[in-house]
Structure 1
Amino acid sequence: MTLKTGCHRLMYSLTHQSSMLGVRSRGHSLLSRLGNLESKTGSPSCSWFSTGAALNMRLVQFTDLKGGPQKLGVQPKQDGEITDISSGSGKIPNDLIKLIQGGPELWAEAEKAAAESSIKAQAKDVKLLAPLTAPGKVVCVGLNYRCHCNEQHIEPPHEPMFFSKFASCIVGPTDNVVLPTVSTKVDWEVEMVVVIGKPCRNLKPEKTMDNVFGYTIAQDISARDWQKGRNGGQWLLGKSMDTFCPLGPAVVTAGDFPKGPHVLPLSCSINGVEKQNSNTDQLIHQVDYIISHLSHLFTLLPGDIILTGTPAGVGVFRNPREFLKPGDVIDSEIVGIGKLRNPVVAPQ
């Protein structure tokens, strides 16, 4: 680990612990109850590659507009030129999850390919796909912005509240959100997404950030009638209908965020009208604690993703209530990552 990286991690840890003292002192109760796991099982099982292997890339999955095989590329800026790193190499997979699973040696090959590849594509000539198409886990954090709790007139949770989505609902950054025939109350939620880079088990919060591969954006589309009024109050069905997780446009590696992930403005607009506007510094439970908490419950694996919660401004808590309808366009943006633009279409 470099001196610069070590200083950053120390500053991040001190700042985060100070800012979260009020909530997390109680939120750590689960970890304190489970803290003996490390002493019983040994050191956390997440040392299979060096923590010094930091990447600085903005990775996309794409196809040609006319079709053809999926490709993996590096696109430094949204709508900019893409360097194809998979087509000209026998080593680099065309699937980002496989690249993540390959570890630092394969990552080094990817960086080399990005620097040397002469295979270029223009944004206008390609279709961007979701940067992660089949993660093993899609874990979501509910009620993780204080302003979102306030708009519901509820107290922020002392511990993170988790739910999940099926990976089959993931679509790309420009794909349609198809309204289901079974719901008339479909809503928006912009969220920052954490992409796990290596196996995580029984981690303390201060040991988690080296396990993050990068970050992307999700729209946690939600059928509120199914989420809140049906299926016995379980959220899974209301969150997992087809096309209910636009993802992308890129995975930006953790090395591109020298100040960490908790300084990023995020917003959502419907038909050009801003509905949500906040910053990831408002997360109640921040990334290090979320990963630590989950790692005491089950192993997080490379390519797993965590949706970290949405701020205030969703449709169901507006007066009057607002829900998505055919013809709407959802713009979801996080500064430093990019923007999703997803049209809403009628049931099919």
Structure 2
Amino acid sequence: MRFVSFERDGKATLGVREGAQVRILGDETLESLLARGVHLNDYAQERTSGEKIAAQGLKFLPPLRRPPKIICVGLNFADHTSESNYAQPDYPTLFFRVHTSLIAHEEPMIRPRVTDSEGLDFEGEIAVVLGKGGRHITKESALAHVAGYALFNDGSVREYQFKTPQWTVGKNFDGTGAFGPDLVTADELPAGAKGLLLETRLNGEVVQSANTDSMVFDVATLISVISEAITLEAGDVIVSGTPSGIGWARNPKVFMRAGDVCEVSVEKIGTLRNVIADETAG
């Protein structure tokens, strides 16, 4: 199933996408449902009488607006590691995002107004949403912890990312983490979202293209390795890494400017679209 979060009459609302329509489920959030241990497909199937509205024109929200944790994975495609002039790590490169950086499908991605913020870059990725957590999760059981998958554009302010050896600031400017539009339940996709074409387009031009089979650390490995150190929780989001083609690595460099349109697409999941806008004073 495909769950969408959107705003209706000034209130956050949850629904299931059914073709060109969305069947309304109510105002309980995905965060709340997952925290309660609710099986999402069962929940939707029990609520078959919900009103149906057109999907077109909805004001989408991120599938989860306040996940317990957003854990991002760097250098998870070897070609991206190479273009970034790093040696390929033999352990996942992890950093965190904060929920205040999240934006929804069709919401502007914000190019910050700090004086040297020329380098707002794109990174198309798949986000893994956990349906249950745990510690010391085995690789063999890890995929049973996945509720579903969504799209992510890990918008990166490169000058700030590389001000220090830690990438946190450049990865957490407000309005730079595009997330959505659908949470596609795991049963709709190949196990671990393997074998899917991931593409990023800037103003219609393909700038990133790779198969998810090329991930250095697959989804099951990421869940297992992270849980060796960190207790994972239902509703946690793992942003699983980007392939080569980023603007920073190009010659000349290619960055996103106000008015640009950036789209991230993965087959069987959909397309995440955002227009770039300059941050206003205030």
Cα contact 2:143–2:192 (8 A) shared by 1:
no
Q: Which amino acid aligns with 2:121?
A: D
> Any idea what SS the aligned residue of 1:173 has?
coil
> Any idea what SS the aligned residue of 2:229 has?
coil
Which of 215, 220, 229 aligns to 2:149? It is: 215
> Any idea what SS the aligned residue of 1:191 has?
strand
Unaligned segments of structure 2, at least 5 residues = none
Aligned to 1:148: 80
Aligned to 2:172: 240
- C-alpha offsets along residues 148-192 of structure 1, whole Å, 9 cap, x if unaligned? 122234332111110111111001011001111121111000000
Aligned to 2:108: 176
Cα contact 1:195–1:306 (8 A) shared by 2:
yes
Rate the CA distance shift 1:317–1:105 in 2: closer, same or farther, 3 A.
closer
Which of 290, 300, 303 aligns to 2:232? It is: 300
Aligned to 1:59: 3
Say what the alpha-carbon RMSD is for the aligned residues: 1.4
- What's the offset of the Cα at 1:203? 1.3
Runs of 4+ more than 6 Å apart: none
Cα contact 1:177–1:244 (8 A) shared by 2:
yes
Q: Which amino acid aligns with 2:154?
A: D
- What's the offset of the Cα at 1:125? 4.3
Cα distance between partner residues in 2 of 1:328 and 1:132: 25
> Any idea what SS the aligned residue of 2:82 has?
helix
Aligned to 2:36: 102
Aligned to 1:26: none
- What's the offset of the Cα at 1:94? 2.6
Unaligned segments of structure 1, at least 5 residues = 1-56, 87-92
Aligned to 1:74: 16
Cα distance between partner residues in 1 of 2:73 and 2:273: 23
Cα distance between partner residues in 1 of 2:166 and 2:84: 18
Equivalence map 1:149-164=2 (5 Å): 149-164=81-96
Bigger radius of gyration: 1
Aligned to 2:122: 188
> Any idea what SS the aligned residue of 1:205 has?
coil
Cα contact 1:100–1:107 (8 A) shared by 2:
no
> Any idea what SS the aligned residue of 2:34 has?
helix
- C-alpha offsets along residues 120-148 of structure 1, whole Å, 9 cap, x if unaligned? 01023421211110001110000000111
Aligned to 2:134: 200
Rate the CA distance shift 1:106–1:180 in 2: closer, same or farther, 3 A.
closer
Cα distance between partner residues in 1 of 2:254 and 2:39: 49
Aligned to 1:310: 242
Cα distance between partner residues in 1 of 2:60 and 2:40: 23
Aligned to 1:83: 23
Rate the CA distance shift 1:305–1:262 in 2: closer, same or farther, 3 A.
same
Percent of aligned positions that are identical = 35
Which of 132, 135, 138 aligns to 2:64? It is: 132
- C-alpha offsets along residues 251-306 of structure 1, whole Å, 9 cap, x if unaligned? 00111124441111111111111100111111000111110111010111011100
Cα contact 1:138–1:306 (8 A) shared by 2:
yes
Aligned to 1:117: 49
> Any idea what SS the aligned residue of 1:332 has?
strand
Q: Which amino acid aligns with 2:21?
A: E
Cα distance between partner residues in 1 of 2:192 and 2:86: 29
Cα distance between partner residues in 1 of 2:65 and 2:94: 21
> Any idea what SS the aligned residue of 2:140 has?
helix
Aligned to 1:340: 272
> Any idea what SS the aligned residue of 2:248 has?
helix
Q: Which amino acid aligns with 2:123?
A: E
The structure with more helix, counted as a fraction of residues? 1
Rate the CA distance shift 1:84–1:201 in 2: closer, same or farther, 3 A.
same
- What's the offset of the Cα at 1:110? 2.6
- What's the offset of the Cα at 1:109? 3.1
Cα contact 2:143–2:191 (8 A) shared by 1:
no
Q: Normalization by structure 2: what TM-score?
A: 0.94
Tell me: higher relative CO, structure 1 or 2? Use CA pairs within 8 A at least 6 residues apart.
2
Cα distance between partner residues in 2 of 1:317 and 1:125: 36
Which of 210, 218, 221 aligns to 1:289? It is: 221
Aligned length: 278
